[in-house]
Every structure is written in C-alpha cells, then in structure tokens.
Amino acid sequence: MNSPKRRYVIVSPVRNEEKYLPRTIESMINQTVQATEYILVDDGSSDRTAEIIKQAAEKHPWIRYVKRPDRGERKVGPGVIEAFYDGHKEIRSTDYDYVGKMDGDLSFGPKYFETLFEKFETDRYLGAASGKLFLDLDDGKLIEERHADEMVVGGMQFYRRKCFEDVGGFVRQVMWDGIVYHQSRMAGWRTRSFRDPELMIHDHRLMGSSYKSVYHGRIRWGWGQYFMGTHPLYILAIGFYRMLERPFIIGGLLIVVGYLKGWVTGAARYEYPGFRKSLHAWQFERMKLGKRLERIPPASD
C-alpha cells in the first residue's frame, strides 16, 4: 500500500504514439510506488494508440482512457495543455498529493517515483521535480539533453498539488512549461531536476523536434521565448548555447530567428503582474549580470 503522502496522479496527452507508448505504460506499471490514477488522453490518434491504452486499462483499473476528437493534426503548446486538462477534469480522487503531466514517448526505471518522493520529503520547499532527460539513440547511445538543474523536464512535469494550485496550473499557451517553472519560484517554491541513476528518463524523440521537423521546432522554441518575455540578451545566449547540440549551429540560429519573428510582427506576449521583471532578473543572474529577486529558504529550514 502506498504511503498516504505519496498519492499521485499522472495525466498523459498522447497522439499517434504506438511506437513508444507501450514502453511508457510499462514503466508506469513497474513503479515501486504505484500511481493512484494514470489517465491517458488520446488526442485524436489514427494509429493503434487507443487500442494500446484500452488493453492496459483492462488489466490495471488505475489506468484510464480518455478520448478527444481528432483536430486533424498534432497541436503542440496550447493544444497539449488543452488535452491535459481534458484528462485532469476526469481525476476521480480528491485526496492525492502530487500531480504530473507526462509525455507518451518516455521510459524510466521502476524506482523513479519512489526516488522523487524521497527528494520531496527532505525539502518542504520543493514544489516540482524531475530526473534528467537522455536522448536514447537507435545505435544504443545515450546523450543527456541539457537542462539547468533548476528546471523540471518539460515532458516529465511533476508537482506537489499545493504548488500546482498556487500557480494556477499550466497556461494554455506556448512555453507553458517555462512559465509555470518561473511562476513556481515567484510563489516561493523550488523546482529541480536531479542527476540520479534512479531518475534517468529515456527520451525516444529529439527534444524540440516538433511534429513537422527539428528546424520548425527550434523556430517555435524561439517564438515561445519571445511570448514568455525573455530578454533579448538572454535569447542570444540561448542561441549560442544551443548551437553546440543537434542540429549543430543551425538549431541555435533558428531559435533566435523564431524570437525575432515575434519581435518584428509585434506578437502578443505573456502578461502576469511582476512576471517579466522576475524572469529578467533570473536570466541576468544566469548570465552573471545581476541577481534574482526571489530567495527560497534552503531545504533544511
């Protein structure tokens, strides 16, 4: 039986994931701390995704299938969050302690959630956490996808319920994962991704590759940074940093192009009181040009 403080719900929006989803479901089934509910939202799949979910749900009552109508294409960003909330509203439990959003193309070890709970239980200010993400290449090589230790992996978001509710959940916009991370800090919560063998997450699709191409994904990434309110100096730093990973050079340049596209067209930006000021202070600290505004007590306090 799970500890009363380790009750968690996972919602997974998925579309046409028959190639990877069986590994994700198997990873959830094998957890040493079983989910209270694992809700998979079929976002209009045309392959065997629905069949795979239904077969798992027949064997495991805590796995549930939710069907959404086919919108005609994979809609990333706000579309994924719309699908997430279609699953979130189907949560039957009222006394769960943690909630997560998970992609359908990941795999991870059996002690993943048990190890995460140990992290949460030693730090009362830890509001969200994940392991580190590793690109699992066809040739068997593992390449770590670079994330700052303060950031939670986008495809494996996991929150204390209190933190999730404090920040109002996910915004239904592009860059929702970056926004919720920064708002968590503004609300007094720490977020972390941990480098721990038990917390390795295997990603079977290149991060930021989009449903069209990796190049389209990088442009969308840059546009999302513009929407979130990223400072121009920081987008240049991101662009240079991402030139050093696949697709080399061009990937980083396209992120800057996506940002400039938003700038030139005067596209709308995310508006929330104090958000951009806090974001810029954090970004300037990352560039060693300033200090962040928030100070969260250490774990021992």
Cβ-proximal residues to 149 (8 Å cutoff; 6+ apart), any chain: 192, 193, 194, 195
**Tokens representing 16?**
């046409």
Pairing relation of β-strands 201-203 and 106-108? antiparallel
Residue 172: its pLDDT value, please? 93
Q: Which long-range contacts (CB under 8 A, 24 or more apart) does 89-95 make?
A: 90/39, 90/64, 90/66, 91/9, 91/11, 91/37, 91/39, 92/37, 93/7, 93/9, 93/36, 93/37, 95/7
CATH number of 8-203: 3.90.550.10
Pairing relation of β-strands 133-136 and 142-144? antiparallel
Cβ-proximal residues to 139 (8 Å cutoff; 6+ apart), any chain: none
CA distances in angstroms from 278 to 185, 237, 268, 285, listed in the order given: 9, 18, 19, 11
**Tokens representing 290?**
């300033």
What residues does each domain of the chain span?
8-203, 214-286
For residues 164 and 146, give the distance between their C-alpha atoms in angstroms, rounded to a whole number: 24
Per-residue tens of pLDDT for the chain, all 301 residues: 456 689 999 999 999 999 999 999 999 999 999 999 999 999 999 999 999 999 999 999 999 999 998 776 666 678 899 999 999 999 999 999 999 999 999 999 999 999 999 999 999 999 999 999 998 866 677 888 888 999 999 999 999 999 999 999 999 998 999 999 999 999 999 999 999 999 999 998 765 444 567 888 899 999 999 999 999 999 999 999 999 888 899 999 999 999 999 999 999 999 999 999 999 999 999 999 999 999 999 987 7
Which single residue is written with the structure tokens 């069949």?
Answer: 51
Q: What is the pTM of this model?
A: 0.92
Pairing relation of β-strands 63-68 and 37-43? parallel
